[in-house]
A and B are shown apart, each in its own frame.
Chain A
């Protein structure tokens, strides 16, 4: 699919080490969805919407796109704008507006669900798993189970090549 992608076992090792490195350097768990809450919190100064937030998470998610950019420059040659959705091209309606709307709704579910569940794939599956935190592991299993059911529904009747 993508020849710049590294072997799964190696990627797993590196990401596992990253989770540990984050604990060593910052002293707290890594996480992505909290960074979004930090952005909303900064825009919504009057009321406290989320309780206590780790504000450094804002800087963490600021780094994420820069990491994506670095990967393109180091391994993929030229940076180019793309709207391609791979296999999703076959199941989503063709119009740009309706497509963006579906992704927006999916994003709303991700944002709302992550805050309600108390974390996303990084915080619950990767970090919660590393801490053997049972409620996080339950959340990770449920994320996966509900995403699997939804994907099967989305792709049912869609043949892959």
Chain B
């Protein structure tokens, strides 16, 4: 299918996901902080229910051998192989998550909400991604 249609569909899905992140409170500093301090279970419940719902849905898609809508080919379910980098990467990511009360999806969504405190976070994510790219291409 025409690439421009896939681009538009990607933007539309992004809009929907951004909307959902705000709806569940994921772009709210206090919900994030209270999740890690075990004071509020809004976001942990969202994550758990979403994982179970996603699991059920993907299981059904696989059973039905469903094709994707854009070009009617097989859906790619990529299995990420284990790699020691996952451990170190998760350590850095976890510290960053707690320091900013955001993750890469919520930080950029906050900008649309007017929470411009997300600007240094987004700038940081871009810099960190770039730094990793340099490190990755040289090792």
Contacts and interface: CB of A to CB of B under 8 A. Distances in A.
Given A107-B121, A109-B128, A142-B90, A67 B21 contact: yes
Nearest to B132: A115
Label chain A's interface by main secondary structure.
helix
Given A67-B17, A115-B129, A15 B46 contact: yes
B36 A20 contact: no
Contacts of B48: 12
Contacts of A85: 29, 101, 117
A35 B93 CA distance: 16
A65 B49 contact: no
A104 B5 CA distance: 35
Contacts of B19: 67-68, 70-71
Contact of B124 (A37, A67, A110): A110
B104 A133 contact: no
A151 B131 contact: no
Contact of A150 (B7, B13, B94, B107): B94
Interface string A21-37: 11111111110110111
Contacts of B53: 12-13, 15-17, 19-20
Given A68-B112, A107-B122, A133 B80 contact: yes
Interface string A67-107: 11111100010011111111110000000000011111111
Interface in A11-67: 11-30, 32-33, 35-37, 39-41, 44, 47-50, 56-57, 59-67
A57 B81 CA distance: 21
A27 B38 CA distance: 36
Interface string B70-95: 11011111111111011111111111
A88 B33 CA distance: 8
A50 B49 contact: no
A98 to B, nearest CB: 11
B110 A68 contact: yes
Given A12-B47, A64-B17, A112 B6 contact: no
A111 B136 contact: no
A17 B13 CA distance: 12
A151 B55 contact: no
A82 B126 contact: no
A27 B21 contact: no
B124 A118 contact: no
B92 A40 contact: no
Given A56-B7, A65-B109, A147 B97 contact: yes
Interface of A: 1-2, 4-6, 8-9, 11-30, 32-33, 35-37, 39-41, 44, 47-50, 56-57, 59-72, 76, 79-88, 100-122, 124-136, 138-139, 142-152, 154-155, 160
5 contacts: A5-B24, A9-B45, A68-B113, A107-B126, A117-B86
